[in-house]
Structure formats: structure tokens, C-alpha cells
């Protein structure tokens, strides 16, 4: 949910298995070269498999004679296990291709000569958590990656010599969180990193030599939320929250102080921010929603302060840009309403896009380019198939197919994801995504032949969004016989500032109304059986699940909360220290935990205050090391439910953080969730088999509430003894 009360730089939703292009497979601590984007609060096995058609033993609680008769179950291992290959990249010099792939079940970086991808070998040594975020440096034969410990998000930066397969921890500081700030071809052996080793709340900026490991402080942080540096590693701007919830962009003054460059009001804070510079550093590229609703791509001449509009879309915010790898010219801009659409700005690449759009189906993503711009790595994102990677030769105008991220998906009965527009009760357009079970829509009109059990998915954030494309949860649930509806409720980003700001102070208010309006739409359209509707989500989506069961009991047959907060006061009182410079983000949009009036409001909007209202079955999943939504958030509501003798099933993972990164843990959780949904919605399910093998799953309470759960855990514990 890519998607979070998170790091200052772009994140992804850790409650889902993989993101839109699987280029960052779990929480991304930062994106080099694009400082300060959004502080978002996202989070987020077969009983027996055989070769060929992946037949599985299963139980089917759907009505006989349905369209699912004869449709095989897709094994959970295929959907939620490690990808075959992901995050494909070309090295800047074009000599190598790299990707993430498992080694003994753990994701590592593999590298091969670009002209011989089949000879790839692993070059990193991770044996536990798996690598999720890596980059090519501009030093020949050098990769960089980030890794934390058991989900604590205290990332270290590692350097890898791909020829010698030697790895060095470049930031071996216990308890400190490193984040990438900038990687530039102008200084190939040096990168910029942020470190909060001096003050846990603040990241200072260092030049880090990736060969020697030596670090030089270039900018101490006096209290800023983030910095923006140019490609010559000059820190050009700093960002600071205002007490009203806006943002100041500051520039260095004549002396050692900082002076105001732009002040952004709170209404534009989430949709206006600096992105990058022109090659000579004289022009700033800005995502800008001031004096308009949706954010546009604009440039600012830093000498004359002239603002030039480059690209805009009245329906959607600017979602992505492409710049030339060395010339830094703006070449394309993307906007995502229901689907992602690229607008080419530079005629020099128009023919490239024209050709790439003809190669295969799906949305085009250019995920890496060589420095000479002769070769591109291109990913094609589809809703009913795996991501397809191609190496594109620009001079020959030829795309060479490399691989998909999940080969076994090719032969599975995958379904389409359809964007639908739902009107809220106060006339907002909610861009939702609907998936139906195979064969449920016999006449092809986009709606099922008869009402179905439905799972409502709520993304994390809330300052994030759901998007079109392959989604393992959509495919899994549809395959089990459920309609799936993914909701972009108010407060979601991407649809203009009016829509985002309409979520201010509406946690458990109008944001929840949007979910109920989407449910009512599904019932009115004969998509959903009103007696068989579940709600599920991670992070904010987990909170929304708890809200649904406490504020509107009886609407949902059951709920699944993954790393969701139950008490908004304790949530805000226990934020990670490095979120402190951004506290006004929460106090001006969620509620102010520092005042008595604010605390009263926050408690009124906290599910913990209404535990006695819960009458629907609840499944909770939590990582013990979660630095954002701490374990206490799950413990509080579980303890309160137990005191009131309300049943709940609680799964706790001691080696996870804000979501489940290890595939063994994902598989165990989704196995339990599948049995839980089958029990309460009546869908078909793949029985819990060896899904707990290698998982750290523990069940503090409620093991008897889910069919097969306690027995499966006992079997694993017996084996271990």
C-alpha cells in the first residue's frame, strides 16, 4: 500500500507482498536523487503441490455448480512466495544486468553480463531477511543495498564488489538509521547518505566513499525534515514543517543561516515539493499544486524565479517523471487517475515510447537506463499476468525479452482488475478497483452473474493510494471465490489536494463513510452478498478494519487487521524519533495528542475506546519489531477484547516489523487468513499444510478460532522439539 507514517522519502506499502513493478519489494527507506516526497503511513502454501498444473488439496465451501467448478486453486506459494526475479536493472556502463532472486529461499542480488543473462550468479550474502532495495553505483563493478534487522528499519548501507563478491557495511553504527540521499555520476566513488547517529530525530548529511568507507560531514541538521542536494552534492534546499502543517523550503543564506525560499501552505503540503535540478543547477523541478487542485510538473528559474508549467492533468496529480540520465532534461511526465498515462515532453524519446507501447500489453515502466542512454530496462505491468522485463536497444529500436518476475503465474487462471468510479455520499469520485472470480461474469459486462462474498481491501497510508496492476491479494481472493474491491477513500493521494485534504480529521469519520459507500455500491450493483462481506488492510488499512468492527458493527462479517493502530494517542506518542520533525503532519491532519482537547478527539476516533461494540470475528497480525505501529497497539486491543470475553485471533511475528517481509511469514499469515475467510464468508480454501515451516509465527491467543490453526502450529512445534 510502494505505501506511510514513514520515512521522509518515498515508501511502499509493506502490507502487500510486492509493489506495482516489484522494483521495491517491501518498505523502501528512500529514493536517491529525489529528496523529500511524502511522509506516508503505509504499511502495509500448498498442502501438497505437484508439477504441471500445480494441483492442490483443498476444501470448497462455495455453492456447487458455480462458475468456479473446474477452476484450480492457485497455490499460495506461487502468489506470496519469493518472486523468481525482480528489480531488474542495467548497470550504468551497460556491462551488467542485475536482479533480485532467491538463494536458499532468501532474496539476494544476482548479476550477469548484459549479453548473457542466463549466466547470472548471486553476489550478496544475505541469509535471513532478504534484500529489498539495491542500486548500481557509478563506480565500475559496485552495487549498493540497504538492510535492517528483523524489521526495525535501522537500515545500513552496504557496498558490494560484484567481481570479488565482497560486501562491506559502510554504516556500521548500532541503532542508527541510514538513508540514501543522492547518487551521482559526477562523483562515481562517493554517495550522499543521511545518518541519525548524532541525534535520533535528525539525519545529518555525509559524503560517503564507497571504496574506503570514509565519511565526511557536509551538513549538520539543525532541525529540518529533509534536504535536497544537486548532482554535484551541494545541499541546495532544506525542508521544514510549519506549526500550521505547511512546509518551508529554505535555501542557504549568505552566512551560515537559512533563509526562506518558498512557503507552502498546509493545503498544498502533500502535493507540492521539490524534485530535482537541471544539469547546471539553475532550474528547480517542482511538483506543484499551488493555485490549482492537482499537482503539475513546473520549473522555477532560480535566478529570475520565473515559474513555467511543463505538464498537468486536471484529474490526477503528477505521479512520476523521466529525466535524461546525464543531461537532466525533462523527458516525460506520468499521471495516474485509474491507469498510469505517460506524456512525452522530449521529442527525442517519442519514437521510443511509440515502439515500446507496441511490444506487448500492459503499462510501460522504464526502470533503468545506461549513462549513454543506449539501453533501457523496461518493465510491462499487467493486471492478469506477471511483470515482463525487456532490455531495449534504442539504436535498433528492438526490445529483447528477458524474463517475467513469476514464471508460474503464466499458466494460472488469473483475472482482470477493473477500475470503477463510486460516488461518495457527498459527491466525491472514489476510484476503486474491482476483481471478480474466474467465470463470474459470463456476459462480460464487468459485473457478476449473482452477488458474491466480497473482501474490501483498504490501503495503508492513508497518504498513499491503490493502483491498477497485478496484485497477489486480488488474484488470490478472486481465485477463492470472492469479489475484491480496493478503495481509494478520501485522504488518498494522487487525485488532487481537495480529495487528499478532505481526509483531514476524518479518521473514523468521512474516510470510513467512503468505505461504507463503496460497500453499498457493491451491494446495489449486485456485486456483493450483504451478509458475506469482509474488510482487510494493513497499517492505516488495519486501523480502518478496527474502525469498521467498532464503529459500524454488523456491516462486515469479519475483519483482518495487519499492523494497524488501535489507539491514536499512543500511536502518536510512540512515533519513531526521526518522525519528530514532521509531527505537524499528524497533529494538523489526524489530531493533536499534545493537548487535552486533541486527546479527547483522538480517543473518540480510536477503536480501543469502543471495544465492547465488536461483534464480528477479528484476525490480527503484528510484527514485534514494528517501529511505526508498535506491538502495544495490537496488545492493547487484544487485551481489552479478552477482558470483555470477545473472541480474537492474534498472530505475532518476533522477527518482523511493519508488515511481513520474510516469505515464510507471509505464507503462514495468508494461510491463516484464507482459512479465517472461508470460515466466515464461505469461500473455498487451500488447507493449512506445511505453511508454517520456517516461519516465526506465534499465536498469543485465539488459536482455536480458525480451522486447522492450532493443529498446524502444534505439528511445527513438535518437529522443532
Cell 517501529, located at residue: 627
Q: Radius of gyration of the chain from Cα atoms?
A: 24
* Rounded CA separation 201/578 (Å): 4
Rounded-to-5 percentages of helix, strand, coil across the chain: 20, 30, 45
- The DSSP line for 390-425 is EEEETTTTEEEEEEES-GGGGGS----EEEEEEE-T
- The DSSP line for 416-478 is -EEEEEEE-TTSPEEEEEEE--TTS-TT-SSS-SS-EEEEEEE-S-SSS---SS--HHHHHHH
Closest among 148, 146, 217 to 180, alpha carbons compared: 146
* Rounded CA separation 6/575 (Å): 10
CA distances from residue 183 to 138, 276, 350 in whole angstroms, order as listed: 8, 13, 27
Give me the phi and psi of 123, to 5 degrees please: -125, -5
Give the three cell numbers for residue 609. Answer: 475506546
Indicate the length of the chain as a whole number. Answer: 721
Number of Cβ atoms within 10 Å of the Cβ of 570: 18
* Rounded CA separation 66/391 (Å): 43
Element (H, E) at 111: strand 106-113
- On whether the CB atoms of residues 406 and 379 are closer than 8 A, the answer is no
Work out whether strand 483-487 and strand 452-458 pair parallel, antiparallel, or are unpaired: parallel
Question: Reading across the β-sheet that carries 178-183, which strands appear in turn?
Answer: 178-183, 190-199, 202-209, 215-219
* Rounded CA separation 618/543 (Å): 12
DSSP 687: P
Give the three cell numbers for residue 548. Answer: 469498521
**Active-site amino acid positions:** 539, 626, 658
CA dihedral sign of residues 564, 566, 567, 573:
negative
Amino acid at each position: 500500500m510502494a505505501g506511510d507514517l514513514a520515512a521522509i522519502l518515498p515508501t511502499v506499502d509493506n502490507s502487500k507482498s510486492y509493489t506495482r513493478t516489484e522494483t521495491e519489494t517491501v518498505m523502501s527507506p528512500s529514493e536517491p536523487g529525489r529528496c523529500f516526497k511524502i511522509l506516508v503511513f503505509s504499511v502495509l502454501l500448498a498442502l501438497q503441490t505437484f508439477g504441471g498444473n500445480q494441483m492442490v488439496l483443498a476444501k470448497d465451501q462455495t455453492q456447487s455448480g458455480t462458475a468456479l467448478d473446474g477452476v484450480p486453486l492457485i497455490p499460495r506459494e506461487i502468489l506470496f512466495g519469493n518472486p523468481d526475479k525482480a528489480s531488474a536493472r542495467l548497470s550504468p556502463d551497460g556491462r551488467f544486468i542485475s536482479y533480485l532472486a532467491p538463494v536458499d529461499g532468501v532474496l539476494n542480488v544476482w548479476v550477469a553480463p548484459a549479453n548473457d543473462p542466463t549466466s547470472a550468479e548471486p553476489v550478496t550474502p544475505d541469509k535471513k531477511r532478504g534484500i529489498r532495495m539495491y542500486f548500481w553505483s557509478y563506480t565500475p563493478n559496485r552495487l549498493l543495498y540497504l538492510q535492517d534487522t528483523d524489521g526495525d528499519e535501522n537500515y545500513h548501507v552496504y557496498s558490494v564488489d560484484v567481481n570479488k563478491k565482497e560486501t562491506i557495511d559502510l554504516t556500521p553504527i548500532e541503532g542508527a538509521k541510514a538513508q540514501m540521499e543522492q547518487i551521482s555520476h559526477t562523483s562515481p566513488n562517493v554517495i550522499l547518505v543521511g545518518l541519525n547517529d548524532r541525534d535520533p530525530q535528525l539525519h545529518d548529511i555525509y559524503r560517503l566513499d564507497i571504496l574506503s568507507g570514509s565519511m565526511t560531514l557536509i551538513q549538520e541538521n539543525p532541525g529540518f525534515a529533509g534536504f535536497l542536494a544537486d548532482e554535484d552534492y551541494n545541499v541546495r534546499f532544506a525542508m521544514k514543517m510549519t506549526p500550521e502543517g505547511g512546509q518551508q523550503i529554505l535555501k542557504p543564506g549568505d552566512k551560515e543561516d537559512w533563509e526562506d525560499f518558498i512557503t507552502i501552505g498546509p493545503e498544498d503540503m502533500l502535493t507540492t515539493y521539490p524534485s530535482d535540478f537541471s544539469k547546471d543547477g539553475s532550474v528547480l523541478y517542482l511538483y506543484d499544486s499551488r493555485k490549482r487542485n492537482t499537482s503539475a510538473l513546473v520549473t522555477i528559474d532560480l535566478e529570475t524565479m520565473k515559474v513555467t508549467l511543463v505538464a498537468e492533468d486536471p484529474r490526477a496529480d503528477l505521479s512520476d517523471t523521466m529525466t535524461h540520465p546525464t543531461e537532466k532534461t525533462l523527458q516525460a511526465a506520468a499521471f495516474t487517475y485509474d491507469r498510469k498515462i505517460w506524456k512525452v515532453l522530449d521529442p527525442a524519446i517519442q519514437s521510443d515510447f511509440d515502439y515500446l507501447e507496441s511490444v506487448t500489453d500492459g503499462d510501460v515502466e522504464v526502470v533503468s537506463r545506461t549513462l549513454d542512454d543506449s539501453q533501457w530496462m523496461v518493465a510491462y505491468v499487467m493486471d492478469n499476468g506477471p511483470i515482463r522485463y525487456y532490455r531495449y536497444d534504442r539504436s535498433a529500436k528492438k526490445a529483447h525479452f528477458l524474463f517475467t518476475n513469476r514464471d508460474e503465474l503464466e499458466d494460472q487462471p488469473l483475472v482482470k482488475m477493473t477500475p470503477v468510479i463510486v460516488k461518495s455520499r457527498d459527491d466525491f469520485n472514489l476510484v476503486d478497483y474491482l476483481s471478480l472470480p474466474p467465470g463470474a461474469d459470463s456476459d462480460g459486462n464487468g459485473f457478476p452473474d449473482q452477488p458474491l462474498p466480497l473482501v474490501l481491501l483498504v490501503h495503508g497510508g492513508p497518504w498513499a493510494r491503490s493502483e491498477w496492476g497485478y496484485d497477489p491479494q486480488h488474484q488470490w481472493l478472486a481465485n477463492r471465490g470472492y469479489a475484491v474491491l480496493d478503495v481509494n477513500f478520501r485522504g488518498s493521494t494522487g487525485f488532487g489536494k481537495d480529495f487528499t485534504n478532505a481526509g483531514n480529521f476524518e479518521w473514523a469519520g468521512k474516510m470510513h463513510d467512503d468505505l461504507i459507500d463503496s460497500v453499498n455500491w457493491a451491494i446495489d450493483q449486485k456485486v456483493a452478498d450483504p451478509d458475506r462481506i469482509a474488510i482487510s488492510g494493513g497499517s492505516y488499512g488495519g486501523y480502518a478494519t478496527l474502525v469498521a468492527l467498532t464503529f459500524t458493527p454488523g456491516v462486515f462479517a469479519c475483519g483482518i487487521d495487519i499492523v494497524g493502530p488501535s489507539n491514536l494517542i499512543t500511536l502518536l506518542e510512540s512515533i519513531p524519533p526521526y518522525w519528530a520533525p514532521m509531527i505537524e503532519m499528524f497533529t494538523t491532519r489526524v489530531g493533536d495528542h499534545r493537548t487535552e482537547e486533541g486527546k479527547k478527539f483522538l480517543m473518540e476516533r480510536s477503536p480501543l475506546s469502543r471495544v465492547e461494540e465488536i461483534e464480528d470475528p477479528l484476525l490480527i497480525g503484528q510484527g514485534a519489531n514494528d517501529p511505526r505501529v508498535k506491538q502495544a497497539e495490537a496488545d492493547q486491543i487484544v487485551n481489552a477484547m479478552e477482558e470483555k470475553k470477545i473472541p480474537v485471533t492474534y498472530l505475532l511475528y518476533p522477527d518482523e516489523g511493519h508488515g511481513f517481509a520474510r516469505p515464510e511469514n507471509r505464507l503462514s499469515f495468508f494461510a491463516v487468513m484464507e482459512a479465517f475467510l472461508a470460515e466466515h464468508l464461505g469461500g473455498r480454501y487451500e488447507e493449512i499444510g506445511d505453511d508454517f515451516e520456517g516461519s516465526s509465527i506465534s499465536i498469543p491467543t485465539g488459536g482455536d478460532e480458525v480451522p486447522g490453526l492450532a493443529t498446524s502450529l502444534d505439528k511445527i512445534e513438535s518437529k522443532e522439539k
